[in-house]
Amino acid sequence: MILKQLPAIFKPARPVLQRIEAAGFEAYFVGGCVRDTILGDHIHDIDIATSAYPSEIKAIFKRTVDTGIEHGTVMILDHGTGYETTTFRTESGYQDYRRPDSVTFVRSLAEDLKRRDFTINALALRENGEVVDLFHGLDDLKRHLIRAVGDPNERFHEDALRMMRAVRFAAKLDFVIDQPTLNGIRQNAPLLSKIAVERIRVEFEKLLLGKNPVAGLKDFVATGLYRYCPGLQGAHDVLSKLLVLNQWALENPVQVWTMLCVQLNLSGQAVTRFLKQWKNSNNLIRQVKQTLPVVAALRAHHLTALDLYRAGWERTVDANQVAKLYGWNVAVSKLRTAYKKLPIKSHQELAVDGRTLIKAGIKPGPQLGTILRWLTQAVVAGQLVNTRLALLTAAKEYKKEE
Ligand code: ATP
Ligand code: MG
């Protein structure tokens, strides 16, 4: 197969491949960028594989950066753009089910493609548009099939993360996992517990952000992979209920993790525990905790100004997107109008601050915080006008009532 016209992203990279070839080596575009080109999908980055060793690449190009030299990866800098180039390699060992014990540089493209996970990811593309397809990857692309390169059992034994990658590609592309490959996953699912949670998380997020999450989720559940994921060991029924939802349009990790907390019916400390088990960042945990109350309010058809104020606009949008999955969402225009109507959007906009209150005779201490919070809530709810005079008067009244 020859591709007549390559997407624009390849254009500036072609001269780089031509120079490697002119020096007597082979060079190809490989992996996801080839797959996505043939599918007509968006390409986010390009990977180059070559028969030249890192030292040989560095002799050809003046400006390079050793980005992963021990794996054979060198970045070539050309007209301000960096191109990651990796020497053909084979991997061996895999005694711990996750990383090869050693990588060996080789001169053969076939050897390099053989170590790749799925046939649709084992295509290579020459700079002239010629596709190299040694494992019927093109047929599988046409048939929408995720199929392991070689024996699935062996391949998942070598690297258990590939099982998560299979379900994530099924979701990302809305493809089906080939039966023997699926059997391989079912058989080896327990090996997933050998893989670092952070790496599983990356794949799980991509699954839920895919074109058709259900296409991946159903096999994530059916093969038992979920049992080896943090906090999901007993979640068969809860996860199965996701399979009947059809309004999937999650857009970012905050929405993904909020949805999971909603689905698992988590609240309070259980939210933090679950998100920490998955090694999520403190920032993400904070954002999910801001989003969850808005989802709950949408669910109860009782979204208040204070909910919007506390969450802020971005988290409100995240909440509405999660709510959409369950049919609890409202029109974004309605949300926007309500948000714009908020008398203040942050505590900085409050007409008084702690210092002003102290000057007006309120003692510093815990009560000061309580008064400020109360004033904020009253302003947000429209019960007090946001002027210095009104707020100072109200603060003094509040003190008297204490
Ligand atoms: P994406 O669009 O999500 O980046 P991708 O196919 O480019 O998809 P990467 O994780 O970037 O996926 O990996 C690049 C390529 O490296 C894959 O297409 C595949 O050929 C190979 N690869 C990546 N991870 C593995 C693995 N665990 N086992 C075997 N091959 C892998
Ligand atoms: Mg990639």
Q: Both tokens of residue 382?
A: 């429209």
Residue 257 lies in a domain: no
Mutate to test the pocket of ligand 1, among 121, 134, 195 (most ligand atoms within 8 A of CB): 121
Domain count, the chain: 3
Of the candidates 252, 251, 248, 270, the one whose C-alpha atom is nearest the C-alpha of residue 261 is 270
DSSP 280: -
* Domain match, 281 and 226 both: no
Give the per-residue pLDDT at 321: 98
Please report whether residue 390 resides in a domain: yes
Minimal CA–CA distance to 81: which of 8, 11, 7, 13?
A: 13
Q: What tens-digit pLDDT sequence spans the chain (402 residues)?
A: 999 999 999 999 999 999 999 999 999 999 999 999 999 999 999 999 999 999 999 999 999 999 999 999 999 999 999 999 999 999 876 677 776 767 899 999 999 999 999 999 999 999 999 999 999 999 999 999 999 999 999 999 999 999 999 999 999 999 999 999 999 999 999 999 999 999 999 999 999 999 999 999 999 999 999 999 999 999 999 999 999 999 999 999 999 999 999 999 999 999 999 999 999 999 999 999 999 999 999 999 999 999 999 999 999 999 999 999 999 999 999 999 999 999 999 999 999 999 999 999 888 888 899 999 999 999 999 999 999 999 999 998 886 666
Tell me whether residue 255 is in a domain: no
Supply the range of the domain harboring residue 390.
347-401
Q: Are residues 22 and 68 in the same domain?
A: yes
Are both 65 and 195 inside the same structural domain? yes
Does 175 lie in the same domain as 33?
Answer: yes
Provide the CATH number for the domain around residue 135.
3.30.460.10
What's the pLDDT score for residue 402?
Answer: 64
CATH of the domain at 378: 1.10.246.80
Residues with Cβ within 6 A of ligand 1? Answer: 31-32, 47, 116-117, 121-122, 159, 161-162, 165
Tell me, yes or no, whether 250 lies in a domain. Answer: no
In angstroms, what is the span from residue 13 Cα to ligand 1's centroid? 20
Does residue 121 sit in the same domain as residue 185?
yes
Is the full-model pTM beyond 0.85? yes
Q: Which residues surround ligand 2, an ion (CB under 5 A)?
A: 32
Residues 20, 126: one domain?
yes
Query: Looking at the structure, do residues 338 and 351 belong to the same domain, yes or no?
Result: no
Testing ligand 1's pocket by substitution, the residue of 38, 116, 146 carrying the most ligand atoms inside 8 A of its CB is 116
Of 127, 152, 153, 147, nearest in space to 135 by CA: 147
b/e map 350-374, b = 16+ CB within 10 Å: bbbeeeebeeeebeeeeeeeebbee
Q: Do 237 and 94 reside in the same domain of the chain?
A: yes
Q: Do 48 and 122 belong to one domain?
A: yes
Q: Same domain, yes or no, for 36 and 185?
A: yes
Q: Are 74 and 94 contained in the same domain? A: yes
- Choose among 183, 121, 170: nearest CA to 144: 170
| Nearest ligand to residue 165 Cα | 1
Residue owning tokens 């295509």: 123
- Domain-located, residue 224: yes
From the list 308, 305, 304, 269, the residue with the least C-alpha distance to 289 is 269
Q: What is the pLDDT of residue 93?
A: 67
Ligand 1 nearest atom to the CA of residue 44, by list position: 2
**Same domain as 212, residue 115:** yes
